[in-house]
Amino acid sequence: MTTQNQNSLERKGENLTGAQALIRSLIEEGVDTIFGYPGGAIMPVYDALYDFLDQINHILTRHEQGAIHAAQGYARVSGNVGVCLATSGPGATNLITGIADAMVDSTPLVCFTGQVTSPLLGTDAFQESDIVGMSMPVTKWNYQITRAEEIPEVVAKAFFIARSGRPGPVLIDIAKDAQFQTTDFQYKKCSRIRSYLPEQPVDKEALVEAAHLIDNAKKPFLLVGQGVVLSGAEKELLQFVEKTNIPMASTLLGLSAVPSDHPLWKGMLGMHGNYGPNVLTNECDLLIAVGMRFDDRVTGDVKTYATQAKVIHIEIDPSEINKNIPVEVAICSDAKKALKMLNHLVKENHHDSWHDAFKPFAEQEYEQVIKNDLYPTKESLTMPEVVNKVADATNHQAVMATDVGQQQMFAARYFKFKNSRSCVTSGGLGTMGFGLPAAVGAAVGAPDKTVVAFLGDGGFQMTIQELATIRQENLNVKVIVLNNEFLGMVRQWQELFFDRRYSFTHMHNPDFIKIADGYGIPAQTVTTRDDLDRAIAEMIETDGPYFLEVRVEKEDNVFPMVPSGATVSDVKLTPNS
């Protein structure tokens, strides 16, 4: 027996405190980074962590919401489970927004919170909160530990649940006395839980039926969801569309699954997606949805969505199938497995005339929207031209993180992606304040990449304190605040649907440059087009963090736009269209 194997066996027999057992369990799961914020009820774990800093990196964020969004960003770019750590009471409750965001966006997280000692549970003790009860609707699983001996098994179960099937967040609440108690530490990874079936066997008859529909369709259209990325099915997807010659478009979270310059990729779906993909959804005869859940921002009015088409839905979560859109063929499976099998069944095909149908829509969108967005004649700078220039300056190799709002939609439309896992944004929950801390996690998860964070002046100020985390860790994050002095997306809706009654959307902002300087981050403001290229070049060439404020057109709007509740074929290219 080797010395290494002997040491491994010796470790399993050690008598450890619960806090030490937790850290050892994380090491056994391959965790290399924790995002967190210490406090009284989690202090024993932080004390134990102090002895393992050569094996686990801890990132001290400036707020617990920053910690969980950073864990999300880390998970999204690395493909690993994100881990965050918080204390009891307000520390735990500050995680709820991020947990809910991770749940709807299928991000694998394991969150650990401290809790008051077990004798005090239910007594309204200082900094006690029922975080298990509060988080139950927005977690895949949660559990409260009151005995140290529970820790290894519960942690193993938590990681298995978080990463298996449709990924999602798990929360483990640990009473403080359990952190002090001792236990005989033995760790065994979890690979099966009775009654929990994260994946179903692929229905081969359904695959055969799907292949028949695909081979005989005249106007097939494929929708790329984040499930392609989560399952690592990028290669299989390209093999499928290149063999069948089927045009495809992406959901917001499906962006970067395929290169934006792929000839079969027609753009983004949804409320602010591209013109052709939205309109032609209601003209295709076969809709193939892969790893997406038919969110209302994609479908618009479900009563009028693709009613002429037969629908094939490849989706790992059975609860999403037939939930919003009725399907002809349901393939409840991991996208990678299903596409790999489907590639052996479908025939080579061509759909030249169908591809040609997208061209006039693309040309019209370019003339009426894109040309004006990227090459504006107005004096003021615009968000799209800034996004486009930053993307070009990074040769489309950077990881893009965004907050939520107009800058998010402009970034999604114009950044253009070459590599998978390079789009980090909040989808289903639409969480303002997500972008800056998510960029922190993305930079830790992809240390060889530049991370560019496009933020609005509103969302930026919700988690502005994470500039300190970026500086302390010297992360290669380029923070770009597109400042229009408005809550831009809300203002757009007020302009279009509320007679320009701008009720509480104007922002009186601080001097962002002074704030960045206070955190020790190099910064500058750009107000004119003549200075933009130089400023972007300086930002990219600067090692480590950089802050760029660009003052942009105050009342710019994101188009195309599918009005809320409208059908996708009613997409507007201009306010008056």
Q: Measured in Å, how far apart are the chain's first and last C-alpha atoms?
A: 76
Give the residue among 565, 532, 564 at the shortest CA–CA distance from 548: 532
Per-residue pLDDT reduced to its tens digit, 255-276: 999 999 999 999 999 999 999 9
Give the residue among 310, 226, 323, 237 at the shortest CA–CA distance from 268: 226
Query: Rounded to the nearest 5 degrees, what angle is found at the Cα of 386, between the Cα atoms of 298 and 531?
Result: 170
Helix (H, G, I), strand (E, B) or coil at 367: helix
Distance CA 448, CA 430 (A): 28
Structure tokens belonging to residue 259:
């290169």
Per-residue pLDDT reduced to its tens digit, 62-83: 999 999 999 999 999 999 999 9
Distance CA 497, CA 500 (A): 8
Structure tokens belonging to residue 539:
């930002």
**Dihedral pair phi/psi, residue 17, rounded to 5°:** -70, 165
Would you say 481 and 455 are in contact if contact means Cβ atoms under 8 Å apart? yes
Q: E strand or H helix at 197, and its extent?
A: none
pLDDT at 12 (0 to 100): 52
| pTM reported for the whole predicted model | 0.96
Structure tokens belonging to residue 155:
């942690």
136: which residues sit within 8 A by CB, 6+ positions away? 142
Alpha helices in 173-225 (DSSP H): 176-180, 204-216
Q: Find the helix packing angle between 435-445 and 64-78, rounded to 10°.
A: 50
Distance CA 252, CA 425 (A): 8
Half-sphere exposure of 320 (CA within 13 A, CB side): 23
Instruction: Convert 329-359 into a string of H (helix), E (strand) and C (coil).
Output: EEEECCHHHHHHHHCCCCCCCCCHHHHHHHH
Per-residue pLDDT of the chain in tens (577 residues, 90 and over written 9): 344 444 443 445 689 999 999 999 999 999 999 999 999 999 999 999 999 999 999 999 999 999 999 999 999 999 999 999 999 999 999 999 999 999 999 999 999 999 999 999 999 999 999 999 999 999 999 999 999 999 999 999 999 999 999 999 999 999 999 999 999 999 999 999 999 999 999 999 999 999 999 999 999 999 999 999 999 999 999 999 999 999 999 999 999 999 999 999 999 999 999 999 999 999 999 999 999 999 999 999 999 999 999 999 999 999 999 999 999 999 999 999 999 999 999 999 999 999 999 999 999 999 999 999 999 998 999 999 999 999 999 999 999 999 999 999 999 999 999 999 999 999 999 999 999 999 999 999 999 999 999 999 999 999 999 999 999 999 999 999 999 999 999 999 999 999 999 999 999 999 999 999 999 999 999 999 999 999 999 999 999 999 999 999 999 999 999 998 899 999 999 988 7
Distance CA 215, CA 285 (A): 12
| Residues in the chain, total | 577
Q: Find the helix packing angle between 406-414 and 488-497, rounded to 10°.
A: 100
How many CB atoms sit inside 10 A of residue 524's CB? 16
Helix, strand, coil shares of the chain as percentages rounded to 5? 45, 20, 40
How many CB atoms sit inside 10 A of residue 542's CB? 13
Give the residue among 209, 206, 222 at the shortest CA–CA distance from 277: 222
* Residues known to be catalytic: 64, 126-127, 176, 489
